[in-house]
Chains A and B, each alone.
Chain A
Amino acid sequence: MRHQLTRRATALLAAGGMLAVAACSAGSSTTGVRPSSGDTRQTLTVGLVAEPASLDFTRTDGAAIPQVLLGNVYEGLVKLTNDGSVVPDLATSWAVSPDRRTYTFNLVAGAKFSSGQAFTAADAAFSINRVKTDWTISLKSAMDVVQEVTALSPTRLQVRLSKPSNDWLYRMTTRVGAMFSRTGVDKLATNPIGTGPYTLNKWNRGDSISLQRNDSYWGTRPFFQVVFLKYFKDPTALNDALLTGTINVIAAVQAPESLAQFTGNPKYHVIEGTTNAEVVLSFNNSKAPFTDRRVRQAVRYAIDHKALLDTCWAGRGTLIGSMVPPTDPWYEDLTGLYPHDVARARSLLAAAGKTGVTVRLRVPTLPYAVSCAQVVKSQLEQAGFKVNLDQLEFPAAWLTTVFTNADYDMSIVAHVEQRDLGAVFGNPSYYTRYNNPALRQALVAADQGTSTQQVQQMKRAARLLSQDAAADWLFLLPNLTVADKDITGLPKNAVSESFDVSALARS
């Protein structure tokens, strides 16, 4: 009787086991798990982290939208090269008047929108004016300086500014300079129409966006026919996707310690460059103890930046010493102004009568901030500070507490915007609460002067900021790209808002 039972049981077990095996082996018959769309050689899949909330960057903020669309679907009159200079795009050339207030652009002839309409100076004027009238995101203020836009002919555009501004031309390389069709702005959130080398093919929300090569593109035809931009919230999942061939490129590695699995592997290449993301140890400059310059300086001497970078970001990144990345023309290495010197930090703190002072370090729940905060705390405590560390959920809780209400003494956050020295330190009501008329004066002189004056004045501003210890600059986040060995044309640095896929190819 018992024997009978065992036999049946074995049969049942075997059936269960077979089912499990069937489930596993379903995938073993074929290899290659790329999305199937045409010729695989002409298809590229890029892994990214943040998915756009909408495709309309005129009304929805966030870096994820221009990352996909700018340079790929939309183009500007000018664009930024990988070393940070402004070069022609839809404009072939431009002239600046002697009073530096009038820009005259010559536009390419023969550029067309993906809807079929020709791109003309009237579209350019429409696009620039529309920033003021229809855009809602805060970046639109970059166009406040525009007084009048005139289409002189279909290929000549004149822009008159209310005051000279070098920054205006630079901002024209960002999303606010994107060129729209006069008849193609009614469905921006789902159906973007631009002049770029790609058009939007399909958006699978929560998963991926696919771009289709625009075969009527006016410029150089890109290599890839279809590009999938696939979004991963989890850094491990992103790495696994490259390791298993689901994607070809990780555009920005989020966990630098995970690079080891790619660096030694001949199937991949790793590219390290710079970004615009200064990881700032910010001070509330309007509140004791950080109203006292000696206390701010003590912090700068107390931090061992090299050790910090090694510990919290696997040694990847650049030490900068002020609010300027190496790709800006006025970059200077200012790390020498405050070398690591604990004794000096202690004596400055003592001179300010603040030895043992308690400060609140309130950091957002972001990987770099959380891992750096521990190091900062321990280094500051060696210099005589007492640090209360707390983590605020990002974005919401951190934005309300630190950013809006300035209820903090110190924080750590990466300021990722381009050329943001003025935005972060030139406005006394910004969360850094830094009020320095000399700095603002230098910023104005830089914006209105010639390009030589601009470089001089910006250098002065960066040095002023660093000397006055308005914050401490922990490091600049690296741009870490990993890709299949045969993918070429990957940008070294992340200097602009866009991830331009048109230059990528397969060798």
Chain B
Amino acid sequence: MIQRLIERSAVLVGSLAASSILVFAFMAVLPGDPARVALGVNASDQAVAALRAQFGLDRPLVSQYFSWAGGLLRLDPGQSYISRAPIGPQISDRLQVTLWLVVSSMVIALVIALPMGTLMAVWHRRISGLVLSAVSQVGVAIPAFVAGIALIALFAVKLGWLPANGWTPPAQDPVMFLKQLALPALSLGLVQASVMTRYVRSSVLDVLREDYLRTARAKGLRPMRALARHGLRNASVPVVTVLGLQLATLLIGAVVVERVFVIPGLGSLLLDAVASRDLILVQDVVMVLVVAVLLVNFVVDLLYALIDPRMGREGR
């Protein structure tokens, strides 16, 4: 287990370094001068040059990279080119919003997918199982923002039950917070649920065919109980893998859903930064997303070992 931890940590650090170089390089080759954009269309060339010098954009790329990466290591992501405000507090504010959204969608997805997937597996020979399967297939095909627009049209504009968009921090007004969270979390969560349901189904199906489950039933356990006692732990390994991957998808999906629901999260921050060519802010937000995805994968890797001790030993 310790060795696995060390190995995985080394991979994590390597991936972080490599991705920071990639992110920086992508931003460097993008057309458009952030100083020109910051100063507006009528700015003189001298003013633009002065601002470039102030941002350090006139220095060699390698030196720009190291001062940026060094700042990140000290948890100082720098200052926005456009607003000149420190980026750290902006990212942490926005990240809290996005985390609420991502976590609540994941909860919705799991609450739906775990029972549904299991049922679909157990019922896989029945019409009801096929119907559920078809429904989840449709869900997989719908992008979250389309689901969002449809939910707004129905629950906000037509029925008037919930606000169409907006965001209120939970500390300020918990009721309004939940009302405003409901539709975006559902639009991300329902689509995720469809995807997860299919994984749960196939995973449970595989387990149902195993000899040990037949044996368990043969010794008198009811099928659901046999599955619960001997099957679910094994069935959960592939599901946890997918869970990790899907968390990353949710984080990316949140970018678009935040725009549709006017939520001031990391996604809207990223889109605004892209539009205003606030390259340093784009770089920082992308890095935060990368770090989140890599960390989730890291945790998933370690979780394997906990769920299935055999995997922990394989490394030797």
CB distance from A187 to the nearest CB of B (A): 12
CB distance from A290 to the nearest CB of B (A): 21
Would you call the interface of chain B mostly helix, strand, loop, or mixed? Answer: helix
CB distance from A376 to the nearest CB of B (A): 22
- Among B31, B83, B115, B222, point to the contact of A400 (Cβ < 8 A): B31
Chain B residues with CB under 8 A of A31? 160
Say yes or no: is B127 at the interface (Cβ < 8 Å to chain A): no
Per-residue CB contact flags for chain A residues 1-27 toward chain B (1 = under 8 Å, else 0) read: 100110011001101100110011111
Docked complex Cα distance between A206 and B167 (Å): 10
Chain A residues with CB under 8 A of B276? 53, 395
Chain B residues with CB under 8 A of A220? none
Per-residue CB contact flags for chain A residues 398-440 toward chain B (1 = under 8 Å, else 0) read: 0111011000000000000000000100000000000000000
Docked complex Cα distance between A404 and B31 (Å): 13
Say yes or no: is A136 at the interface (Cβ < 8 Å to chain B): yes
Say yes or no: is A445 at the interface (Cβ < 8 Å to chain B): no
Given contacts A5-B224, A54-B84, A237-B262, contact A138 B163 (CB under 8 A): no
Contact between B179 and A27 (Cβ–Cβ < 8 Å)?
yes
Contact between A137 and B156 (Cβ–Cβ < 8 Å)?
no
Per-residue CB contact flags for chain A residues 52-91 toward chain B (1 = under 8 Å, else 0) read: 0110000111100000000000000000000000000000
Contact between A27 and B162 (Cβ–Cβ < 8 Å)?
yes
Docked complex Cα distance between A98 and B251 (Å): 67
Say yes or no: is A487 at the interface (Cβ < 8 Å to chain B): no
Docked complex Cα distance between A230 and B264 (Å): 11
Say yes or no: is B111 at the interface (Cβ < 8 Å to chain A): yes
Count of chain B residues with a beta carbon within 8 Å of a chain A beta carbon:
70
Chain B residues with CB under 8 A of A12? 115, 118-119
Say yes or no: is A42 at the interface (Cβ < 8 Å to chain B): no
- Among B122, B165, B182, B223, point to the contact of A246 (Cβ < 8 A): B165
Contact between B222 and A4 (Cβ–Cβ < 8 Å)?
yes
Contact between B31 and A24 (Cβ–Cβ < 8 Å)?
no
Contact between A236 and B149 (Cβ–Cβ < 8 Å)?
yes
* Nearest B residue to A190, CB-CB: B85
With most chain B CB atoms within 10 A of its CB, the pick from A1, A12, A20, A240 is A240
| Segment with Cβ contacts to A, from B13-21, B42-50, B68-76, B135-143 | B42-50
Contact between A54 and B259 (Cβ–Cβ < 8 Å)?
no
Say yes or no: is B58 at the interface (Cβ < 8 Å to chain A): no
| Segment with Cβ contacts to A, from B59-67, B238-246, B265-273, B291-299 | B265-273
Docked complex Cα distance between A98 and B311 (Å): 93
Say yes or no: is A33 at the interface (Cβ < 8 Å to chain B): yes
Contact between A240 and B152 (Cβ–Cβ < 8 Å)?
yes
Docked complex Cα distance between A61 and B271 (Å): 19
CB distance from A70 to the nearest CB of B (A): 16
* Nearest A residue to B223, CB-CB: A5
Say yes or no: is A28 at the interface (Cβ < 8 Å to chain B): yes
Chain A residues with CB under 8 A of B206? none
CB distance from B274 to the nearest CB of A (A): 9
Say yes or no: is B308 at the interface (Cβ < 8 Å to chain A): no
Contact between A138 and B224 (Cβ–Cβ < 8 Å)?
no
Chain B residues with CB under 8 A of A4? 222, 224
Per-residue CB contact flags for chain B residues 147-174 toward chain A (1 = under 8 Å, else 0) read: 0010010011100111111111000010
With most chain A CB atoms within 10 A of its CB, the pick from B34, B111, B118 is B111
CB distance from A256 to the nearest CB of B (A): 20
With A16-B115, A27-B163 already in contact, 10 other A-B pairs whose C-beta atoms are closer than 8 Å: A9-B115, A9-B119, A12-B119, A16-B112, A20-B112, A207-B167, A237-B259, A244-B163, A400-B33, A401-B31
27 intermolecular pairs with C-beta atoms under 8 Å apart:
A1-B222, A12-B118, A16-B112, A19-B108, A20-B108, A20-B112, A26-B182, A27-B161, A31-B160, A54-B82, A60-B38, A60-B83, A61-B40, A138-B40, A205-B90, A205-B93, A206-B265, A206-B268, A206-B272, A232-B165, A233-B268, A236-B149, A240-B165, A241-B165, A244-B156, A399-B32, A399-B33
Binding site for B on A (CB under 8 A): 1, 4-5, 8-9, 12-13, 15-16, 19-20, 23-28, 30-31, 33, 35-36, 51, 53-54, 59-62, 136-139, 189, 204-207, 230-234, 236-237, 240-241, 243-244, 246, 393, 395-397, 399-401, 403-404, 423
